[in-house]
Amino acid sequence: MILPAVRATRAHHPKPSIEDVAAAAGVSTATVSRAIRGLPRVAQPTRTRILEIAQALGYAASASAAGLATGKTRSIGVVTSSVRHPDYGAAVEGAARALRGRDYSLVLLHLPDSSASPRFPRDLNMLCRRVDALLVLGAATLEKDEIDQLQRSGMPHIVIGLHGEQDDSDLDAATTAIRHLVQLGHTDLAFFHGGLGAQSRNGLLAAVREHRTSALNADGLKLREVRIEDQPGAIRNSRTAFSLLWAEPGSKPTAIVCASDQIALGVLLEAGNAGLRIPEDLSIMGIDGQDLGKSLELTTVIRYSTRRAAEGAQSLLAALEGDRSVTHPALWSPELMIRQSTAAPQGTGRQSLPMPQQKNSKSV
């Protein structure tokens, strides 16, 4: 087994400074600085020579010194409440991707839950002195007053809502999912979710109501909400919830919308146990099913956490570079990704209904 001893090879390589390079090249430090950063006002041959020497010496500017001189750290902070949750992981990856090759580094601040000690004063404030801008992953990652404080601090920042949050994007996603199912002809749906704000719920119900009248022209559309306790054991909770639901007397839903991959997996497993075929006997939809959902061939509504985070980071960078002409990040509407887990309900036969308006999955 690898013995993770700290390797600290006491090398005689005290990192070369800009002066070493300047001396070796026979120029001033100012010229080296310009040459290395690709600024103008350096003769081509000089530049080449300096670059070669720097390379040979293994020179790289000290971030602290440069930062102190410029007042910029050339790094952005990413605040997240999780790195294990695939959604957040995907977002972090997006941010990292946006920074690649831009000579910016990414400082990760992991704030597991908001109940932890007064955090802004310590962690966030400290972070603010190390980064030029902040990308906050998840609308619930920071408390309201923390966001306020951020606002007041004047630090450029963007908050990206992620899965399961009480924001409109969540509602959008659920609506898109339900629309898909309604169009397939389902009239008895269940929505397994991890909790919905009152606002989202109302919006959702409104959306459902709209479909009930305009798409279906029937009041037959039924939507059962089932709350699944998230995080530890979402899968298990979802399994029990499904079993419970199926054990109830009366009619069963013909389709279930799941707020996450985990929940969908629970339903999938338990439906298998119950002898149901997917999608013939039961349609299952996911939301944000990037990794698991894809492997499971789950029809899903995806919201591109990766891309959204990448674009958030890009906006931040653009804002930092003073690019006033920055177009705001495109709003990625939730997009329908039809895979294998949904179909028209058995016996209905109709594959799709005329769409209510000219809305489709791409519409906002």
Q: Which of residues 296-335 bind a second copy (CB under 8 A)?
A: 296-297, 308, 311-312, 315-316, 319, 326, 328-329, 331, 333
For strands 299-302 and 335-337, give the pairing.
antiparallel
Neighbouring C-beta atoms of residue 349, cutoff 10 Å: 8
Q: Are the beta carbons of 211 and 221 closer than 8 angstroms?
A: yes
Nearer to a second copy, 189 or 271 (CB): 271
- Nearest distance from C-beta of residue 211 to a second copy, angstroms: 20
338 binds, among a second copy, DNA, none (CB under 5 to 8 A by kind): none
The answer to the question of residue 130 lying near a second copy (CB under 8 A) is yes
Residue among 293, 309, 275, 312 at smallest CA distance from 177: 293
Q: Which does 5 bind (CB under 5 to 8 A by kind): DNA, a second copy, none?
A: a second copy
43 interacts with, out of a second copy, DNA, none, CB within 5 to 8 A per kind: DNA
Residue closer to a second copy by CB (options 319, 353) is 319
Site for DNA in 28-67 (CB under 7 A): 28-31, 33-34, 36-37, 40-44, 46-47, 59, 61-62, 65-66
Size of the site for a second copy (CB under 8 A): 104
Q: By three-state DSSP, how is residue 109 classified?
A: strand
Least distance CB 24 / DNA (angstroms): 12
Task: Find the binding residues for DNA in span 67-86 (CB under 7 A).
Answer: 68-71
User: Applying CB under 8 A, which part among 22-30, 38-46, 93-101, 219-227 lies near a second copy?
Assistant: 93-101
Picking from 113, 78, 112, the residue whose alpha carbon sits closest to that of residue 96 is 78
Determine which residue in the list 27, 91, 235, 241 makes contact with DNA, applying CB under 7 A.
27
Residue 48, contacted partner among a second copy, DNA, none, CB below 5-8 A by kind: none
User: Site map for DNA, 96-135, x if CB under 7 A?
Assistant: ----------------------------------------
| Binder of residue 19, out of DNA, a second copy, none (CB less than 5 to 8 A by kind) | DNA
Question: Is residue 251 classed exposed, middle or buried when 0-12, 13-18 and 19+ CB atoms within 10 A define those classes?
Answer: exposed
Question: 313-319: long-range contacts at Cβ-Cβ below 8 A with a sequence spacing of 24 or more?
Answer: 313/76, 313/78, 313/94, 313/95, 313/98, 313/99, 313/135, 314/98, 315/158, 316/76, 316/133, 316/134, 316/135, 316/156, 316/157, 316/158, 317/76, 317/98, 317/99, 317/102, 317/104, 317/133, 319/133, 319/156
What CA–CA distance (Å, rounded) separates 120 from 146?
A: 6
Give which of DNA, a second copy, none residue 37 binds (C-beta under 5 to 8 Å, depending on kind): DNA
Q: How many Å apart are CA 159 and CA 142, to the nearest integer?
A: 9
Rounded CA-CA distance 305/92 in Å is 9
Residues 72 to 91 in contact with a second copy, rule: CB under 8 A: 73, 75, 78, 82-86, 89-90
Question: Closest distance between DNA and the C-beta of residue 184, in Å?
Answer: 59
Tally the C-alpha atoms within 13 A of residue 303's C-alpha that lie toward its C-beta. 31
Residues in the chain: 364
DSSP helix/strand/coil, 144: helix
Residue 153 makes contact with a second copy by CB under 8 A? yes
Minimum distance from residue 351 beta carbon to a second copy (Å): 26
Instruction: Enumerate binding residues for DNA (CB under 7 A).
Output: 17-19, 26-31, 33-34, 36-37, 40-44, 46-47, 59, 61-62, 65-66, 68-71
